[in-house]
Amino acid sequence: MTVYYSRAGMAALRAAKQALRTEIKRRVAALSDGEKQRQSLVVSQKLFKHPKYVSSERIAVFLSMDDEVRTKEIIKHVFKLGKSCFIPRYKSNSSHMDMLKLNSLQDIETLPLTSWNIRQPAEDDNSREEALATGGLDLILMPGLGFDQLGKRLGRGKGFYDTYLERCIRHPKGKPYTIALAFKEQLCQEIPVDDNDVLIDEVLYENDE
Answer yes or no: is 56 within a domain: yes
Q: What is the pLDDT of residues 77-128, one digit of tens each?
A: 999 999 999 999 998 778 899 999 999 999 999 999 888 788 999 888 888 9
Query: Within the chain, where are the H helices?
Result: 7-29, 33-49, 51-55, 72-80, 160-170
Residues of the chain with pLDDT under 70: 1-6, 208-209
User: Residues within the annotated binding site for ATP?
Assistant: 17-21, 153-161
Answer yes or no: is 18 within a domain: yes
DSSP string, 11-41: HHHHHHHHHHHHHHHHHHHTS-HHHHHHHHH
Measured CA to CA, the distance from residue 74 to residue 46 in angstroms comes to 11
Range of the domain at 21: 7-204
State pTM to two decimals: 0.91
Answer yes or no: is 209 within a domain: no
User: Residues within the annotated binding site for substrate?
Assistant: 63, 68
Answer yes or no: is 103 within a domain: yes
DSSP 130: B
Domain harbouring 163, CATH code: 3.40.50.10420
Give the count of domains, the chain.
Answer: 1
User: Residues within the annotated binding site?
Assistant: 17-21, 63, 68, 153-161
